[in-house]
Amino acid sequence: MARPVVAIVGRPNVGKSTIFNRIIGDRLAIVEDKPGVTRDRLYGSGEWNGRAFSIVDTGGIEIDGEDEIMKSVRMQAELAVEEADVIVFMVDAKAGLTHADDEVAHMLFRSRKPVVVAVNKVDNQGRSDEIYEFYSLGFGDPIGISGAHGTGIGDLLDAVVEKLPVIEDDEYDEDVIRVALIGRPNVGKSSLVNAILGEERVIVSDVAGTTRDAIDTPFEHDGQKYVLIDTAGMRKRGKVYETTEKYSVMRAMKAIERADVVLILINGEEGIIEQDKHIAGYAHEAGRASVFVVNKWDVVEKDDKTMQHFEQNIRDHFLFMTYAPIVFLSAKTKQRLHKLLPVVNRVSEQHSMRIQTHLLNDVVADAIAINPPPTDKGKRLRINYVTQVAVKPPTIVIFANDPELMHFSYQRYLENKIRAAFEFEGTPVRLVTRRKSEED
């Protein structure tokens, strides 16, 4: 199910990244007391009162700044506003209401989105009166918060959750494989969609997806039903939106949340860049089955080792996704295109695979016999039993005497042994260690 999106916006240095980190409970954003430190938008997941949402931290909107970084930051913020369902407009109690705040407010009024004003740096009782001047922004009751001390965050989230829309579940049958195409611009997402559909010529219909701007295209091949979720479309509003396309990860995130299988497109002509790793990382963290698709293979100069070298390059860059298969193809010429859907079917099946408990325990018992858990300060991890509790992705709980004794390297060892026995091609496998209770 796709989550609603909350964007935190405001001029530079009002504390957006600090609040973002508090809401997601992790220090993902760079925090430094210097304007303009947050360059790219950052994304995370939040939950409050049972409502889950995606949250995006933008760079500061510098309305008058024409230097290249500030222009880029402003574009990113505008795109985040375009994608958001609710906007948290952050201002600074210490600085008071500024001309830049008024300019941001005008931009937010034009968006016609629900806005919650958060007045940051209300660090003591004496400063609480300073929130009143922000009523003049015209967005209702401002909420005083302190990023430094964590006060007022609950009140802020109450106001945000109240404005979140309810997004309905996708109305697709269980046997439909939902396939999202993600990747940076110019890797050929639209071309690949057209190639797949043109090859089969069995489009059922074009229906607007439940998330803005994504187009869901159902089709069927060899008796298997699919839905392609294409994230390539951009609403082009002049040069700003053409330029910001390279920063648009939000659509990819929305598509990933709704997908069973994610095709991570890489431009075979240009090779791998850092942005490819960020985009792939979202699919991995979301627990989706994934396939690397190297497109434009027709224009790559090749010898008998080219494919092998490119594959090794992918493995070196994406060490956290060694489970994902790689398909080389050309959407333009349809070279090797026939190999793609069989791989999608296979990883989708592995993503949904459930292993019987006794088989899992046999594999783990053998792994422990070969390589017993190491001791930590005289204590040794003792694994009682394991069981699979979920699919999509396969999630395995390890019951043990003390979860804190499970070192990440030993957990990785167990995962490798489980993969060797059951494959789980194309899908992350989540291992969770819990203390064995009397009930268990």
User: Residue 384 maps to which CATH number?
Assistant: 3.30.300.20
Inside any domain, residue 328: yes
Same domain, 197 and 78: no
Give, for all 440 residues of the chain, the pLDDT tens digit.
Answer: 567 889 888 888 888 888 888 888 754 444 444 444 334 446 777 889 988 888 888 766 665 555 665 565 567 667 767 778 999 999 999 889 988 888 888 888 888 899 999 999 988 776 777 889 999 999 999 999 998 888 999 999 999 999 998 876 666 788 899 999 988 777 888 788 888 887 443 333 333 332 334 467 888 899 999 998 866 543 334 444 444 443 456 667 778 888 999 999 999 988 887 777 877 888 898 899 999 999 999 989 888 899 999 999 999 999 889 999 999 999 989 999 999 999 999 999 999 999 999 999 999 999 999 999 988 888 999 999 999 999 999 999 999 999 999 998 999 999 999 999 999 999 999 999 999 764 54
Same domain, 258 and 346: yes
User: Residue 346 maps to which CATH number?
Assistant: 3.40.50.300
Element at 6 (helix H, strand E):
strand 5-9
Inside any domain, residue 172: no
Same domain, 203 and 333: yes
Identify the pLDDT of residue 366. Answer: 97
Q: Which of 133, 163, 193 is the last residue of a domain?
A: 163
Binding site per annotation, positions? 10-17, 57-61, 120-123, 183-190, 230-234, 295-298
Same domain, 232 and 117: no
Containing domain of residue 121, as a range? 5-163
Query: CA 50, CA 53: separation in Å to the nearest integer?
Result: 10
CB-based burial of residue 194 (10 Å sphere; 0-12 exposed, 13-18 middle, 19+ buried)?
A: middle
Same domain, 431 and 403: yes
- Pairing of the two strands 379-380 and 375-376: antiparallel
**Residues shown for the chain:** 440
CB-based burial of residue 280 (10 Å sphere; 0-12 exposed, 13-18 middle, 19+ buried)?
A: buried
Binding site per annotation, positions for GTP? 10-17, 57-61, 120-123, 183-190, 230-234, 295-298
Same domain, 210 and 327: yes
Same domain, 312 and 189: yes
Same domain, 57 and 142: yes
Kindly state the tokens that stand for 378. 């005289």
Q: Which residues pair with 294 in a beta bridge?
A: 266, 328
DSSP 3-state of 78: helix
Same domain, 113 and 219: no
Same domain, 288 and 428: no
Identify the pLDDT of residue 67. Answer: 61
Q: Which value, to the nearest 10 degrees, does the dihedral of the CA atoms of residues 151, 156, 157, 162 take? A: 150
Same domain, 219 and 193: yes
Inside any domain, residue 202: yes
Query: CA 48, CA 111: separation in Å to the nearest integer?
Result: 25
Inside any domain, residue 169: no
Same domain, 387 and 275: no
Kindly state the tokens that stand for 27. 């220090």
Inside any domain, residue 440: no
Query: CA 430, CA 175: separation in Å to the nearest integer?
Result: 23
Nearby residues of 361 by Cβ (< 8 Å), 6 or more positions away: 385, 386
Count of structural domains within the chain:
3
